[in-house]
Amino acid sequence: MLALAADEELSIGELAELLDESQPNVSRHVAALRQAGLLLDRREGTRTLVHVPRQAARDPVVADGLGSGRLLCEREGRLARVADVIRARDAAAREFFARTSRMKVGTSDGTSAERGVVKPGGAVPAEIGAYLAALALLVPQRALAVDAGTGEGRLLDMLAPVYERVVAIDRSAAQLARARERITARGYTNVTLVQAELDSDELRKVAGAKADAVFAVRLLHHAPQPAKYVAQLASLCGPGGALVVVDYAHHEDESMREQADAWLGFEPSALRRFARAAGLEDLRVARIPAALCGDGPDKHLPWQVMVGKKIQGKRK
């Protein structure tokens, strides 16, 4: 159990699956190890996630036990199954965004629009592009922006008028079809759509590691491994490039699981930790006023934005 929890932060249910044990039995063992200071737990809605704290892992006796446990897990194939458990976190999100059913979604003007139907001028003021084109002159680095998880492409209405080139990526063909309708209706000629994963060679060929800005809007809470996802996003930034993450602050609304949310938001400290580990600096995290969060099914949640910049060189 310790070896598995040292490899990845796991829920009680995930540990039970990996150990082929019942959840109550795993919970009893977790309680004992927590009391001994060998495990830390974290509540995430109705789930409890556990991991081995760094200070415990540094103890020579604990480190020896972790090494033995890891060998046992490798021999029994349990460690290899961790990747399957992580992928299972992602399965709900993949299925949710692959649906082709037409769903009602909120728009920024307080009305509702049918998902899959692009109505130019409906979701944003028709002249917003002109205003953004004017503001673009104030942005010093605007050669390339990456819209990660573009979905139906709503953020493209903000990015296409500002950046010379925009690469919009999504792994769902259904979502990209809607985005294609949008850019055709709007007449954007500077947007490239890519169906791929963030770590794909195809994306690297199109965008490289030279983006002036990478945007991930309401995406991180779907990621099975948020820290790894932030690192992948940051790797697309060029020197001095910015990563912009818009996501939920921590909340307790379990109903959002039905929207394929893997995580119930994030504490600002967690976002900063992810960003620092990804090599970002000049970090800023701010709450977004509720009045600006549209009229969608997540309008009641606390929104926040984190901005960090890619380190350009080693500090002296």
What's the confidence (pLDDT) of residue 194?
A: 96
Q: Which positions of the chain have pLDDT values less than 50? A: 100-122, 314-316
What's the confidence (pLDDT) of residue 99?
A: 66
The residues with which 48 forms a beta bridge, in sequence order, are: 43
What's the confidence (pLDDT) of residue 168?
A: 97
Q: Over pLDDT 70: what percentage of the chain?
A: 91
What's the confidence (pLDDT) of residue 4?
A: 94
Q: Domains in the chain, please, with CATH?
A: 2-96 (1.10.10.10), 115-310 (3.40.50.150)
CA 136/CA 186 separation, integer angstroms = 18
What's the confidence (pLDDT) of residue 123?
A: 54
What's the confidence (pLDDT) of residue 129?
A: 83
What's the confidence (pLDDT) of residue 313?
A: 61
Residues whose CB is less than 8 angstroms from the CB of residue 108 and which lie 6 or more positions away in sequence, other chains included = 123, 124, 294, 295
CA 216/CA 247 separation, integer angstroms = 8
Q: Please name the amino acid found at residue 261.
A: D
Q: Please name the amino acid found at residue 132.
A: L
What's the confidence (pLDDT) of residue 89?
A: 87
Burial of 248 (0-12, 13-18, 19+ CB in 10 A): buried
pLDDT digits (tens, 9 = 90+) for 132-162: 989 999 988 899 999 999 999 999 999 999 9
Joined together, the tokens standing for residue 67 give 């090494």
What's the confidence (pLDDT) of residue 111?
A: 42
Q: Please name the amino acid found at residue 256.
A: M
pTM for the structure as a whole: 0.77
What's the confidence (pLDDT) of residue 90?
A: 83
What's the confidence (pLDDT) of residue 208?
A: 82
What's the confidence (pLDDT) of residue 301?
A: 96
Residues whose CB is less than 8 angstroms from the CB of residue 194 and which lie 6 or more positions away in sequence, other chains included = 167, 168, 169, 170, 202, 203, 206, 207
Beta carbons of 240 and 141 less than 8 angstroms apart = yes
